Structure 1
Amino acid sequence: MDLSPEELAEWMVKLQDVGRVHNINFVTPEHVVPQVALAILAARDMGLSVPIVYNTSAFDSLASLELMDGLVDIYLPDFKVWRDDTSKRLLKADNYAEHARESIREMYRQVGDLCFTGDGIAKKGVLVRHLVMPGKEEEGVEIVRWLAGAVSRDCFVHIMEQFHPTAHVGKKKRGAREEKRAVNEEEMSVVVKAGREAGLWRFQEAARHDGFNI
């Protein structure tokens, strides 16, 4: 449904007061950043106090991120791939990695390393996610090395393994590209090992329950 920024702000406060949520999470809001900014400002005037999460592919413009400076508490960016030819083929995007590096540096400038409340709920900072793709573990290695060297060795990182190729189920296979299969444990371990060797140490552990825990 269509909402004005003020109406969205009212829903945010309802989620806080009635739903008792831990945060308000905006997923891929790049195309509506001005409206989101107005809604957050209005919600704060209405008493919103839970953290604002900006959940993104990291293919953001610096201008939009600068507009969110002071409004976002937690940035949750993906860093998907490292090579331009991979981003063109899999993401249909030119210079994805360059944009992602700029975006994540700006996010980190705004909110810093991820920190938590006493009971383990994230309250402020950056958490970077990387989905390891089959046969593309070396791109993950480049990404974690960059995070350690250009962002922070204290950067909180979630190395993900849940790529599940089902897009062409029931269709005739065309070629034998690596992403036709799931990632394996060896590929996962290569990326995690490279991150630890680069100095990263804060990795998202698997949740002990059904779901994702921050």
Structure 2
Amino acid sequence: MSRRLPVYLLIDTSGSMKGEPIESVKVGIEAMLSTLRTNPYALDTVSISIITYDREVKQILPLTPIDQIQMPEITVPESGPTFTGAALEMLCKKVDSEVQKGTPEQKGDWMPILFVMTDGKPSDIQVYKGVLSQIKQRQFTNIVALAAGPKAKTEELLLLTDKVFQIDAMDSTAFMKFFKWVSGIIEEGGKSMGATEDIALPPPPDEVNVVI
């Protein structure tokens, strides 16, 4: 059993993502998977899970090796809140149950990478703030957050990670560029695993702005 590099994608599926935005995200994720599948390191090690969150939180893809992923259906309700805090709570549970811990006899999985994408802000801000310390305990190698579109708020994301990025457009070009960049981060993670705890991020494409 080879050591896996677990990658968790948390995707905002609240009502405002309906239509072109969520379709563009799907195109972006497919492009990311295609890129990763051409990389022998990634094929050997990377497993991906997708958790979607709106008023409900669902793990629509349990941690699965990239060569076995069938892209799941991503649905968006007409309207409703964005339970980002509840999504992070589920993430902690899934990391605890899916990521193999090391034992004296065998090495566990590599530390996971987390990507969070939202086009708004957490509706459950108390839960969100309450779960942040649990996320820190889970020791992600990298947490990268994307604020997508004009209504996305970055203040709350900066509480979660100092790696917050923004795209203005919610179209497939922007999301393809973002997810292509994400595949570069994951590939870098595949190569530098064990050598370093923190993966240096490649420079983002022009459409992706760093939030300071």
TM range (shorter): 0.3 to 0.5
Taking structure 1 as the reference length, the TM-score comes to 0.35
Taking structure 2 as the reference length, the TM-score comes to 0.36
Q: Radius of gyration: which is bigger? A: 1
